[in-house]
């Protein structure tokens, strides 16, 4: 793992802009948009190292496609956390699992106002023509997609303390509406559902009181409902107020709680049903839809929250380290006879994480078939995510892309312009090539799952999280 670890969890030395990357194979001529990706740009500040995959300072990557060429740029997101790290050579803001070193006095002062990172590194989205770098922390950073420079900040609610949010908002394209969930920590905490219609300010449409909030990285949305899956990794809000340890380390796994599931009517914000199922943990909901008398949601699940521990760098750097497999599950909630039990089944035995599907056309669609994800080859179990998988929900068969020494990130689907089949398009993934010491942008035919081209990046790209493909090329 060591070479892979050094490349994927090291630091980025360069910010560059290139008009054209060397391409092997073919970039489809219809591919004329832009892939924007987010993730850590460094795990090292001066002599100090961050502790966890979800730490680090945000870096944006841009791939713009035109005429069979791929333009590339990368840039650190300009934030207070980044500037401070540059100026002091030290980690000075709290990240997901890393707090700055503080002496006693600083520690006491931090209780009143922890300096939580504004380095929004987890996802990218577009809300009302604003391009946003998304974080779980209260501040979202607006950036210029052409220059990748920061141009402003955005938040779901006022105040920068005592709240966290998900980085996976849901979209109702027909109604020009975006939804997200904010957890507001207090003696009595609340999950608050926000909606943004067009360019209007975020509006809280409903809330659910909770004494010990769960760590929820995403939520589900069906035609009529918002789905809150409260994994039993929970926090006593008082410990966040005291902030004696890094953010996520205040959460405790309490499997005896099971996993409560709450449905909110997404138009009125009203709580319409509550269920409980077995304890499990997940980062990512995939799709959800109502069919007959059931609400069905798909999610990449783990039996417990140990996956969070597996992502500590001191664990990842061990050569024998094996990351727990996330597996795609389908949950069924009875909508009529609500006292009936929640049931679930495993859809595929493949390891899956960073799952994607054709959200734009198939979200809430019971006929959707294909889920794409980063995965781990069972015959090359040690190390990091080293293959891509496409699971067919109808046949439950999987197609795999694997190449030795290659570590692909989140597979983003880009639909062909005149697509008819669901998988008519390409998969875009940034792949670390540990043998060559750099990364490349991989282009797969989404139907056959065969490579059709790759564009070589002149440096390694650290293991990132999420990105988005925009049909409009941001450079034009
Ligand atoms: Co995520």
pLDDT digits 0-9 by tens, 46-101 = 999 999 999 999 999 999 999 999 999 999 999 999 999 999 999 999 999 998 88
Alpha carbon of 281 to ligand 1 centroid (Å): 13
Alpha carbon of 219 to ligand 1 centroid (Å): 10
Alpha carbon of 122 to ligand 1 centroid (Å): 7
Alpha carbon of 311 to ligand 1 centroid (Å): 14
Alpha carbon of 25 to ligand 1 centroid (Å): 31
User: Which helix H or strand E contains 38, and what residues bound it?
Assistant: strand 34-42
Alpha carbon of 104 to ligand 1 centroid (Å): 35
Alpha carbon of 327 to ligand 1 centroid (Å): 15
pTM of full prediction above 0.75: yes
Closest CA relative to residue 439, chosen from 14, 50, 45: 14
Closest CA relative to residue 23, chosen from 457, 418, 456, 459: 456
Please state, rounded to an integer, the average pLDDT across all residues of the chain: 95
- Predicted pLDDT at 339: 83
Alpha carbon of 442 to ligand 1 centroid (Å): 21
pLDDT at 419 over 60: yes
Tell me the three state secondary structure of residue 174.
Answer: helix
User: Which helix H or strand E contains 37, and what residues bound it?
Assistant: strand 34-42
CA 228 vs. chain centroid, Å, equals 17
Instruction: At 296, list the tokens.
Output: 């069905």
Alpha carbon of 98 to ligand 1 centroid (Å): 19
pLDDT digits 0-9 by tens, 133-149 = 999 988 899 999 999 99
Alpha carbon of 358 to ligand 1 centroid (Å): 16
DSSP state of 313: H
What's the CA gap between 406 and 295, in Å, rounded? 38
- Predicted pLDDT at 112: 65
Alpha carbon of 467 to ligand 1 centroid (Å): 10
Alpha carbon of 120 to ligand 1 centroid (Å): 12
Cα atoms found within 13 Å of the Cα of residue 99, Cβ hemisphere only: 18
- Predicted pLDDT at 162: 82
Alpha carbon of 283 to ligand 1 centroid (Å): 6
Closest CA relative to residue 262, chosen from 303, 196, 210, 304: 210
- Predicted pLDDT at 323: 97
Alpha carbon of 21 to ligand 1 centroid (Å): 28
E-strand stretches of 240-280: 251-253, 259-265, 271-277
pLDDT digits 0-9 by tens, 393-412 = 999 999 999 999 999 999 99
One-letter-per-residue 3-state SS of the chain:
CHHHHHHHCCECCCCCEECCCCEEECCCCCCCCEEEEEEEEECEECCEECCECCCCEEEEEEEEEECCEEEEEEEECCCHHHHHHHHHCCCCCECCCCCCCCCHHHHHHHHHCCCECCCCCCEEEEECCEEEEECCCCCEEEECCCCCCEEEEECCCCCCCCEEECCCCEEEHHHCEEEEEEEECCCCEEEEEEEEECCCCCEEEEEEEECCCECCCCCEECCCEEEEECCCEEECHHHHHHCCCCHHHHEEECHHHCEEEEEEECCCCCEEEEEEECCCEEEEEEEEEEECCEEEEEEEEECCCHHHHHCEHHHHCCCCCCCCCCEEEEEEEECCCCCCCCEEEECCCCCCEEEECCHHHHCCCCCCCEEEEEECCCCCCCCCCCEEEEEECCCCCEEEEECCCEEECCCEEEECCCCCCCCCEEEEEEEEECCCCEEEEEEEECCCCCEEEEEECCCCCCCCCCEEEECCCCCC
Alpha carbon of 56 to ligand 1 centroid (Å): 15
What's the CA gap between 172 and 363, in Å, rounded? 9
Alpha carbon of 29 to ligand 1 centroid (Å): 30
Alpha carbon of 354 to ligand 1 centroid (Å): 7
Alpha carbon of 136 to ligand 1 centroid (Å): 10
Burial class (CB in 10 A: 0-12, 13-18, 19+), 177: middle
pLDDT at 102 over 90: no
Q: Report, at the CATH architecture level, how domain 2-470 is classified.
A: 7 Propeller (2.130)
Instruction: At 335, list the tokens.
Output: 């909508």
Domain positions in the chain: 2-470
Alpha carbon of 282 to ligand 1 centroid (Å): 10
pLDDT digits 0-9 by tens, 264-323 = 999 999 999 999 999 999 999 999 999 999 999 999 999 999 999 999 999 999 999 999
Alpha carbon of 436 to ligand 1 centroid (Å): 28
Alpha carbon of 331 to ligand 1 centroid (Å): 19
Sign of CA dihedral 51, 53, 58, 62: positive
Alpha carbon of 58 to ligand 1 centroid (Å): 14
């Amino acid at each position: 793992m060591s070479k892979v670890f050094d490349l994927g969890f090291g630091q980025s030395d360069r910010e560059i802009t290139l008009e054209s990357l060397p391409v092997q194979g073919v970039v489809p001529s219809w591919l004329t948009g832009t892939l924007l990706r987010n993730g850590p740009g460094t795990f090292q500040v001066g002599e100090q190292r961050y502790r966890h995959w979800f730490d680090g300072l945000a870096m944006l990557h841009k791939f713009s496609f035109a005429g069979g060429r791929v333009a590339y740029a990368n840039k650190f997101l300009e934030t207070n956390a980044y500037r401070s790290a540059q100026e002091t050579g030290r980690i000075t803001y709290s990240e997901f699992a890393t707090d700055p070193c503080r002496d006693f006095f600083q520690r006491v002062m931090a209780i009143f106002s922890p300096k939580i990172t504004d380095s929004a590194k987890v996802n990218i989205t577009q809300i009302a023509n604003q391009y946003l770098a998304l974080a779980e922390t209260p501040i979202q950073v607006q950036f210029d997609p052409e220059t990748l420079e920061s141009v402003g900040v955005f938040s779901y609610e006022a105040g920068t303390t005592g709240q966290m949010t998900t980085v996976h908002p849901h979209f109702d394209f027909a109604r020009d509406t975006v939804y997200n969930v904010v957890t507001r920590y207090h003696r009595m905490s609340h999950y608050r559902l926000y909606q943004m219609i067009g360019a209007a300010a975020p509006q809280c449409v409903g809330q659910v009181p909770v004494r010990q909030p769960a760590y929820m990285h995403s939520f589900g949305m069906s035609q009529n409902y918002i789905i809150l899956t409260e994994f039993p990794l929970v926090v006593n809000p008082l410990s966040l107020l005291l902030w004696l340890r890094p953010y996520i380390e205040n959460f405790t796994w309490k499997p005896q709680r099971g996993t409560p599931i709450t449905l909110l009517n997404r138009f009125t914000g009203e709580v319409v049903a509550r269920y409980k199922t077995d304890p499990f943990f997940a980062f990512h909901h995939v799709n959800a839809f109502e069919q007959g008398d059931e609400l069905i949601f798909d999610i990449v699940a783990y039996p417990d929250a140990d996956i969070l521990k597996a992502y500590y760098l001191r664990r990842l750097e061990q050569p024998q380290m094996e990351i727990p497999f996330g597996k795609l599950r389908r949950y069924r909630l009875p909508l009529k006879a609500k006292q009936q039990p929640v049931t679930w089944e495993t859809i595929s035995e493949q390891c899956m994480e960073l799952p994607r599907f054709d959200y734009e056309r198939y979200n809430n669609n019971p006929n959707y078939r294909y889920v794409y994800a980063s995965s781990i080859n069972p015959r090359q179990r040690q190390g990091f995510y080293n293959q891509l998988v496409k699971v067919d929900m109808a046949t439950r068969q999987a197609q795999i892309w694997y190449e030795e020494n290659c570590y692909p990130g989140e597979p983003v689907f880009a639909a062909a312009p005149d697509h008819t089949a669901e998988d008519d398009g390409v998969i875009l993934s940034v792949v670390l090539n540990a043998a060559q010491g750099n990364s490349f942008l991989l282009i797969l035919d989404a139907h056959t799952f065969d490579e059709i081209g790759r564009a070589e990046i002149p440096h390694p790209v650290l293991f990132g999280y999420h990105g988005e493909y925009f049909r409009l090329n941001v450079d034009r």
